Amino acid sequence: MIRFEHVIKYFGERKVLDSVNFKVERGETFVIVGFSGAGKSVTLKHMIRLLTPDIGKIYVGDELMSTASGADLVRLREKFGMLFQDAALLEWMSVFDNVALPLREKTNMSNAAIEKRVEEKLRQVNLDGVHDAMPSELSGGMRKRVGLARAIVMNPDIILYDEPTSGLDPVTSRAIDQLIDRMRLELKVTSVVVTHDLFSALAIGTRIAMIYDGRILEISRPRDFIRSQNEIVKRFLDAQYITQRGAWERTDHETQ
Amino acid sequence: MITHEPEFLPPPSNLRGRLGRSVLLACRNAGRALLILWEAVLSLRFVFSKRSRPVVLQQLYITGIKSLGVISVVAMFTGMILALQMGLELRKYGQEVNIGLAVMVTMLREMGPFMTALILAASVGSAMAAELGTMTVSEEIAALEVMSISPVRFLVMPRLAAMMIMTPILTFYACMLGVVGGAIVGSTQLGVSVPAYIDNALRWAENKDLYVGLLKSFVFGIMITTICCYEGFATTEGAVGVGRATRRSVVISFLAILVVGYIITRLFYQ
Ligand SMILES: Nc1ncnc2c1ncn2[C@@H]1O[C@H](COP(=O)(O)OP(=O)(O)OP(=O)(O)O)[C@@H](O)[C@H]1O
Ligand SMILES: [Mg+2]
């Protein structure tokens, strides 16, 4: 569905993506993990052409995304929904208007239909009764969920999530995980999820890719990922108390 | 595309390099600004569409009604100052009745469009740059582009429409208030009766003065919107960048108003 071929990107002298190669299959939940500043958001932005590779090609379906322009680009982008890392809500519009925006601007749906769809999406992200609130009145986690509702409101084929669960409480995080999983199972949506949260990566990912300093270190299925022999991947797993047995354990309690 | 990738230019090696680059960048930026203007003009056909109408009305309100107070005060005092200064000189020759003509023509030709444009650039224009700049750095513009909603149609077009309509109206209003201010000074300080003042003003002022003034203000309105929206979209680097975009938008607008004002005057009054 999305294919990166030898993508190289420089920001000034700095190589932020170094020959990135991978393929996201249709109907997959592809999780990208990595340290802060590794290039996860940059990778995600390349998929939707907010950034253009200096060298290399990016395909969406069979079409070249990295050079598309005009009407082609619009058509390709319409396949996508995207949740930005900081939600990117329009501050001067209410929550309802933010979520309804793509429907109002891009479709001819009636007001009643729009209202129904927005209600449904807000309920899916566990947000109720904040319709008329302005984004500035919401907590970080609520903003994120509004952004998520906006990303899925057009029922896109591909959804890109930049840290959907960061800043959320554990219960809501799991609800978002379930939402992502449900969309894959029921609607055959292809998702690319950038996250720090290894628990949700292991729970929802069909494959996990680890980016380190602009390079892909490892792409594997969750159960292989936690057994990885790569030193950096191991360090990343250890830091979140995930051992090869799957869950975390604290040794000091056991010795008492 | 409105969102541009971050730019990293190597530091210029010498003065000539720096100068050359500034000129090239200025040309490129002017080109980008003109492209935004072009797209905004093309999308003016949506100005009365159902989804744009509320936004356009809101912009009309912000541009027109909210600036009314300061424009009134400034226009009134400009008229009064003009009348007083010229009246005192003209009185030496017993010609003080001609302040009517002097105030009217000065306001219509130059002061009205000029002052209104400066006030709008400083208040409405800087707000545009700050708003769009904040939206740019918080990735809201990128989000619009990802949703294939043109930021120009969605954000610039209503502002452009509001400025195209409101700048000439406000200019006309400023001119009239200036003339009223002149009349007040004339009758209280210079002994020129109000009917004589009005008569003198209307007898000698030409329609051409009015039309050229309004044309000027129309052009100023378009320029302010283009410059300020462009600067907003070109913002980088967070809050500091928004501050810089706002300052640049006001400074560039002021300069452009002066230069273009001169050019238009030169074109119509040889
Ligand atoms: N607009 C920009 N200008 C300059 N450098 C940038 C810009 N955006 C990203 N970078 C650089 O690119 C690198 C990768 O950034 P990216 O945003 O992809 O990190 P990330 O993996 O998403 O990190 P995080 O988990 O903190 O969000 C970083 O080193 C960053 O400094
Ligand atoms: Mg990021």
Residue type at B49 in one-letter notation: S
Q: Is the pLDDT of residue A43 over 50?
A: yes
Separation of first and last alpha carbons in chain B:
42
Q: Kindly indicate the confidence band of residue B36, based on its pLDDT and cuts at 50, 70 and 90.
A: very high
Q: Is the pLDDT of residue A15 over 70?
A: yes
In a domain, B7, yes or no: no
- Tell me how far apart the alpha carbons of residues B207 and A133 are, in angstroms, rounded to a whole number: 52
Count residue pairs from A and B with Cβ separation < 8 A: 53
In a domain, B239, yes or no: yes
Interchain proximity A74–B148, CB inside 8 Å: yes
Q: Kindly indicate the confidence band of residue B53, based on its pLDDT and cuts at 50, 70 and 90.
A: confident
Interchain proximity A91–B147, CB inside 8 Å: no
Distance B153 CA to ligand 1 centre (A): 30
Whole-prediction pTM: 0.88
Tokens of A3: 């294919």
Q: Which of A42, A85, A196, A217 to mutate to test the pocket of ligand 1 (most atoms within 8 A of CB)?
A: A42
Place of tokens 């938008």: B249
Which helix (H) or strand (E) element contains residue A60?
A: strand A55-60
In a domain, B251, yes or no: yes
* Arithmetic mean of pLDDT over chain B: 89
The secondary structure of residue A48, as a DSSP letter, is T
> What pLDDT, on a 0 to 100 scale, did the predictor assign at position A250?
47
Say yes or no: CB of residue A16 within 6 Å of ligand 1: yes
Compute the average pLDDT of residues B243-250.
93
Say yes or no: CB of residue A53 within 6 Å of ligand 1: no
Interchain proximity B143–A80, CB inside 8 Å: no
Q: A66-78 as b/e, with b when 16 or more CB fall inside 10 Å?
A: bebeeeebeebbb
Compute the average pLDDT of residues A203-219.
90
Compute the average pLDDT of residues B174-186.
90
- Tell me how far apart the alpha carbons of residues A62 and A214 are, in angstroms, rounded to a whole number: 25
Instruction: Select from B193, B259, B230 the least CA-distant residue to B26.
Output: B230
Q: Is the pLDDT of residue B157 over 70?
A: yes
Sheet holding A55-60, edge to edge: A14-24, A2-11, A55-60, A63-64
Q: Kindly indicate the confidence band of residue A244, based on its pLDDT and cuts at 50, 70 and 90.
A: low
- Chain B nearest C-alpha distance from A65 (Å): 13
Interchain proximity B149–A77, CB inside 8 Å: no
Phi and psi at A10, nearest 5°, equal -105, 140
In a domain, B93, yes or no: yes
> What pLDDT, on a 0 to 100 scale, did the predictor assign at position A247?
52
Interchain proximity A74–B139, CB inside 8 Å: no
Compute the average pLDDT of residues A131-149.
87
In a domain, B4, yes or no: no
Q: Does B140 touch chain A (CB under 8 A)?
A: yes
Compute the average pLDDT of residues A228-233.
84
Of the partner residues A11, A82, A89, the one whose CB lies closest to the CB of residue B146: A82
Residue whose CA lies nearest to ligand 1 atom number 1: B6
Residue type at A76 in one-letter notation: L
Are the CB atoms for A55 and A66 separated by under 8 Å? no
Are the CB atoms for B101 and B83 separated by under 8 Å? no
Compute the average pLDDT of residues B240-259.
93
Domain boundaries, position B63: 15-268
- Tell me how far apart the alpha carbons of residues B72 and B173 are, in angstroms, rounded to a whole number: 8
Chain CA centroid to CA A48, Å: 12
3-state SS class at A159? strand
Min mean pLDDT across A240-244, B8-12, B33-37, B114-118 is at A240-244
Min mean pLDDT across A70-74, A127-131, B232-236 is at A127-131
Say yes or no: CB of residue B5 within 6 Å of ligand 1: no
Query: Which residue of B lies nearest to A72 if distances are taken between CA atoms?
Result: B148
Q: Does B149 touch chain A (CB under 8 A)?
A: yes
Q: Kindly indicate the confidence band of residue A99, based on its pLDDT and cuts at 50, 70 and 90.
A: very high
Q: Is the pLDDT of residue A256 over 60?
A: no
Compute the average pLDDT of residues B217-243.
92
Residue A10 vs residue B1, higher pLDDT: A10
In a domain, B39, yes or no: yes
> What pLDDT, on a 0 to 100 scale, did the predictor assign at position A69?
83
Are the CB atoms for B250 and B227 separated by under 8 Å? no
- Chain B nearest C-alpha distance from A88 (Å): 5
Q: Kindly indicate the confidence band of residue A255, based on its pLDDT and cuts at 50, 70 and 90.
A: very low
In a domain, B149, yes or no: yes
Q: Is the pLDDT of residue B246 over 90?
A: yes
Compute the average pLDDT of residues B21-32.
90
CA distances from B117 to A182, B70, B208, B221 (A): 56, 12, 20, 7
Residue/partner pairs of A102-110 with CB below 8 Å, 24 or more apart: A102/A150, A102/A153, A102/A154, A102/B147, A102/B149, A103/A153, A103/A154, A104/B51, A105/B51, A105/B147, A105/B149, A105/B154, A106/A78, A106/A154, A106/B147, A106/B148, A106/B149, A107/A154
Q: How many residues in total does chain A contain?
A: 256
CA distances from B165 to A162, A241, B159, B219 (A): 42, 63, 10, 11
Min mean pLDDT across A144-153, B4-13, B175-184 is at B4-13
- Tell me how far apart the alpha carbons of residues A119 and A105 are, in angstroms, rounded to a whole number: 18
- A16 CB neighbour count, 10 Å cutoff: 20
Q: Kindly indicate the confidence band of residue A243, based on its pLDDT and cuts at 50, 70 and 90.
A: low
Interface mutation vs chain B, best among A10, A44, A97, A101, most B CBs within 10 Å: A101
Distance B193 CA to ligand 1 centre (A): 71
> What pLDDT, on a 0 to 100 scale, did the predictor assign at position A123?
87
Q: Summarize pLDDT for A68-85 with one digit per residue, the tens.
A: 888 888 889 988 999 988
In a domain, B204, yes or no: yes
Q: Kindly indicate the confidence band of residue A86, based on its pLDDT and cuts at 50, 70 and 90.
A: confident
Tokens of A140: 């970080």
> What pLDDT, on a 0 to 100 scale, did the predictor assign at position A199?
84
- Chain B nearest C-alpha distance from A78 (Å): 7
Looking at chain A, the whole-number percentage of residues with pLDDT higher than 70 is: 94
3-state SS class at A17? strand
- Tell me how far apart the alpha carbons of residues A191 and B42 are, in angstroms, rounded to a whole number: 36
Distance B244 CA to ligand 1 centre (A): 23
Q: How many residues in total does chain B contain?
A: 270
Are the CB atoms for B178 and B58 separated by under 8 Å? no
How many domains does chain B fold into? 1
Instruction: Select from B254, B267, B265 the least CA-distant residue to B117.
Output: B254
Q: Which residues contact A119 (CB under 8 A, 6 or more apart)?
A: none
> What pLDDT, on a 0 to 100 scale, did the predictor assign at position A252?
53
- Tell me how far apart the alpha carbons of residues A45 and A52 are, in angstroms, rounded to a whole number: 9
Q: Kindly indicate the confidence band of residue A172, based on its pLDDT and cuts at 50, 70 and 90.
A: confident
Interface mutation vs chain B, best among A13, A50, A74, most B CBs within 10 Å: A50
Interchain proximity A50–B51, CB inside 8 Å: no
3-state SS class at A28? coil
Interchain proximity B148–A77, CB inside 8 Å: yes
Compute the average pLDDT of residues B61-73.
90
Q: Kindly indicate the confidence band of residue B131, based on its pLDDT and cuts at 50, 70 and 90.
A: very high
Number of H helices, E strands in chain A: 10, 10
